[in-house]
Amino acid sequence: MSELFEGAKFPWWIAGGYAIELAVGHPLRPHDDVDILVLRRDQAAIQAHLTGWDLHVADPPGAGQLRPWLPEESLELPLNGVWCRPAPEEPWAFELMLDEADGDDWVSRRDPRVRLPIARLGRVTPGGIPYLSPEIQLYYKAKAVRAKDELDFEAALPLLGTEQRFWLRDALETTAPSHPWIERLR
């Protein structure tokens, strides 16, 4: 994936379970797909970078329906998932997740009160692969915790410093005040 995005004119980060594995430093479990987080404001640059790829937006979100992402089409909320493959006869290679930004801040598409400087949104592996910081990825996984999300939480929790734990706890208290992870972040 990193080869495809090499030289991209926009920031991008590996997301999902792979982001947790990159933080932990080893595989934890099998994965169904690859998620890449990008900022919504970079849509034109993203489409230009993926010229020739078959791009489909999940519309409506979560319904399992895809439609072509038309050239120069600007996707607005609630549209946030774009499935990508090299050609129509090929399998899906990854999903782009479009997220919000306000100036130098990342803004959660789930709740605009949850923010973080874009500079703190991700990390980079020694090999140069950008990925979402664990607290950000865990925030996304907290929406509807599945067994694999609990496994990812357990693996990433020891890696979270005090500031990261506070941020995740505050973000969860803002959007899901009764979430079971809150107490475990104290």
DSSP-based three-state secondary structure for 56: strand
Integer Cα distance of 101 and 27 in angstroms = 30
pLDDT at position 63, please? 82
The pTM is what?
0.93
Mean pLDDT of 107-123: 95
19 — pLDDT class (breaks 50, 70, 90): very high
Percent of the chain scoring above 70 in pLDDT: 100
32 — pLDDT class (breaks 50, 70, 90): confident
16 inside domain: yes
Place of tokens 């874009």: 118
Q: Which domain holds residue 49?
A: 2-133
104 inside domain: yes
Distant-in-sequence contacts of 14-17, Cβ < 8 A, 24+ apart: 14/129, 14/130, 14/131, 14/132, 15/97, 15/131, 15/132, 15/137, 15/140, 16/137, 17/148, 17/152
DSSP designation for 147: H
Read off the tokens for 124. 């980079």
* pLDDT tens for each residue of 54-100: 999 999 887 889 999 999 999 999 999 999 999 999 999 999 999 99
150 inside domain: no
Read off the tokens for 5. 């995005």
20 inside domain: yes
pLDDT at position 181, please? 97
167 inside domain: no
CATH number at residue 87: 3.30.460.40
**What backbone phi and psi angles, to 5 degrees, belong to 72?**
70, 5
12-21, 53-62, 114-123: least confident range:
53-62
Counting the structural domains of the chain, the total is 1
152 inside domain: no
185 inside domain: no
Of 106, 63, 60, 105, residue with least CA distance to 80:
60
Upstream peptide bond of 27 is cis (omega within 30 degrees of 0): no
* pLDDT tens for each residue of 124-147: 999 999 999 999 999 999 998 999
What is the chain's mean pLDDT, rounded? 95
24-28, 30-34, 93-97, 147-151: least confident range:
30-34
